[in-house]
Structures are given as structure tokens and as C-alpha cells.
Amino acid sequence: MLNARRRFDRSTALLITFVVISIILMTVDVRGSNGGFAGSMRSVTQAVVAPIQGAANAVVRPIAGFVDGLANLAGLRSENAALREELDEANRRLAETEPLRSENEELRKLLNLPSVGALQSQIARVQARGSSDFDHSIVVNKGSADGVVVDYPVRNVDGLVGRVVSVTENSARVLLLTNPNHAVEVQVVGSEDRGSAKGRGASDLQFISATAEQEITEGATLVTDAGRYPAGLLVGYASETAQRQAGFAIQTPIKPAVDFSTLDFVEILFFVPVDPAVQLAPAESDS
């Protein structure tokens, strides 16, 4: 009991001594004395305290950083969620505007197509396609009310699509080049060779000519000849090289310039066929 009391008195006295010394040093420091005994004492004190303070900071600083990180984690998660929602919304808007951008681009190209003589024309949109793989036709949203009649040629930005075969007041059916019942007179660009491009019910056409004198080289360009269609409309390209053989017509497949599976907007040309045998049929009734 007595020993414990002595240790307490000794600790108390030591504490009081440190407090008094600290007060004296602070008083001297406030008075601006940087030299002499006070300066030396301050240096000694700093030398003793600095390592302890540095060690304490080394322990406390990571803990403080960790606590701050936990405090900010919830805020970062909330901010990330908000940014993710903004990104999703931007992607949705982009997906909605992309088809409109494509449509505008296609319409702009149609409007900028070189005119065919002084012909008038009407831009139309595809409303429906053939109901089967054997029905190579489309229905567009322009009809007799818009001045469309049977046998008018139809093209898009890539080339010849086909011709109008029936008309109602507000729609028209177009027979595609690939239809087996369709044939168009064509000329090989860069030569006097002419022939017929006939639909085969597939993705390509067949060029047949009994008068061609030169070989038809692969990649040769074929355009419409005068007659049912205005001259010079792009039809397609020869897929193979073909040479004429005695007694036989020259034949080669043609890759159409138009991708019929992606038709959207087309241009109907108000063209009256030159061939007098081609008669314009009356419009059908919507009923």
C-alpha cells in the first residue's frame, strides 16, 4: 500500500514538472526568443517528441484514410448508378434515332439522283413484300391518287427495282427484276452488245443475247436499253465471263445492283414506254 502511494506521488510530481516546463517553454517561445537556453530546450523537446509524433501519424493516417474511404463508398456507388442510368438512356435515344438517320440519308440520296430527262417522279415507301419466296413483288404507298399508273418503272439509289403491275388509289404493286415473269432489255456498257436480263426467281438474273459478238467479261455493267424502260438505268453486273459459241446464244448470270431484301424507299418514274405494244392498264379499285 505504501509502495503504491509512493509510485503515485512520484508520477504526479513528474507530470507536474513536465507541465511546468512546457508552460515555461511556451512562454519563452511566445516572446520570440529563438536562441539561448530556451532555444536549446525547445530543440531538445522537438527532438524527443518528433519521432513519437511521426510514429503516431504513421499509424493514424492509414486508419483515417480507410475511414474516409468507407464514408465515400456509398456516395461513389450512388454516383455510378446515376451515370449508368444516363448511359442507358443515351443508348436508348441513339437506338431510336439511328433508323431515322438511315431513312433521312436514303431519302437524301434519292432526291439527289440524276433526273431521267424531264420525267416527273414520285418517292414511295415499301409497305409490304411478297407473301412467299415465290412472290417477287412489293407494295408501295403511292397509287393512282398520286399519278401512278401501270408499267411505270421503279428504281432506288442503287439501280432498277422493277415496274408497276397493278395500281389502287393509294398503293401500287411492283414486280421485281428477280421475278421469273419479268424481263428487261439491256445493253452492255462500253459495247454495242444487247440482250435480255430475265428474272430467275433467285437472287440473280440471267443475261441472254443471240446477237452479242464480243465476250461478256466478269464485272461488265449492264443498263436498260430503250423500250419499256428509260435507257441507262443500272441493272447489274455480269457474274461470270461468257463467250459466244457458234449457233448458241451467249448467256451469263447477272448480279443485280439492287439488294431487294432491304428495299425501303423507291422512286417511281412517270415514264410512258416507247414500245406501242405496251399499253397502260387502268387502275384497280381499292375494294
All structural domains of the chain with their residue ranges: 2-64, 113-287
- Best-predicted range by mean pLDDT (10-19, 23-32, 36-45, 248-257): 248-257
- Among 177, 107, 195, 188, which Cα is nearest to 138's? 177
Percent with pLDDT over 70 in the chain = 66
Per residue, the 3-state secondary structure of the chain, as one string, reads: CHHHHHHHHHHHHHHHHHHHHHHHHHHHHHCCCCCHHHHHHHHHHHHHHHHHHHHHHHHHHHHHHHHHHHHHHHHHHHHHHHHHHHHHHHHHHHHHHHHHHHHHHHHHHHHCCCCCCCCCEEEEEEEEECCCCCCCEEEECCCHHHCCCCCCEEECCCCEEEEEEEECCCCEEEEECCCCCCEEEEEECCCCCEEEEEECCCCCEEEEECCCCCCECCCCEEEECECCECCCCEEEEECCCECCCCCCCEEEEEEECCCHHHCCEEEEECCCCCCCCCCCCCCCCCC
Residues 114-132 have a mean pLDDT of: 86
pLDDT interval class at 49 (50, 70, 90): very low
**Model pLDDT for residues 95-106, shown as the tens digit of each residue:** 766 666 777 777
> All 3 cell numbers of residue 26?
511556451
- Among 164, 167, 161, 154, which Cα is nearest to 285's? 167
Q: What is the CATH number of domain 113-287?
A: 2.40.10.340
Distance CA 15, CA 37 (A): 22
Residues 98-117 have a mean pLDDT of: 76
The greatest distance separating any two alpha carbons of the chain, rounded to the nearest whole angstrom, comes to 139
Q: What is the pLDDT of residue 269?
A: 95
Residues 63-83 have a mean pLDDT of: 69
- State yes or no: pLDDT of 63 exceeds 70: no
* Whether the Cβ atoms of residue 139 and residue 127 lie closer than 8 Å to each other: yes
Q: What is the pLDDT of residue 8?
A: 47
> What's the Cα-to-Cα distance from 223 to each of 147, 237, 250, rounded to whole Å?
26, 9, 17
206: Cβ–Cβ under 8 A, 6 or more apart, which residues? 197, 198, 200, 251, 252, 253, 254
Q: What is the pLDDT of residue 71?
A: 61
Total length of the chain: 287
- Among 150, 109, 99, 97, which Cα is nearest to 266's? 109
> What's the Cα-to-Cα distance from 2 to each of 15, 16, 66, rounded to whole Å?
20, 21, 47
Residues 241-250 have a mean pLDDT of: 78
* Whether the Cβ atoms of residue 136 and residue 176 lie closer than 8 Å to each other: yes
**Model pLDDT for residues 135-192, shown as the tens digit of each residue:** 899 999 999 999 999 999 999 999 999 999 999 999 999 999 999 988 999 999 999 8
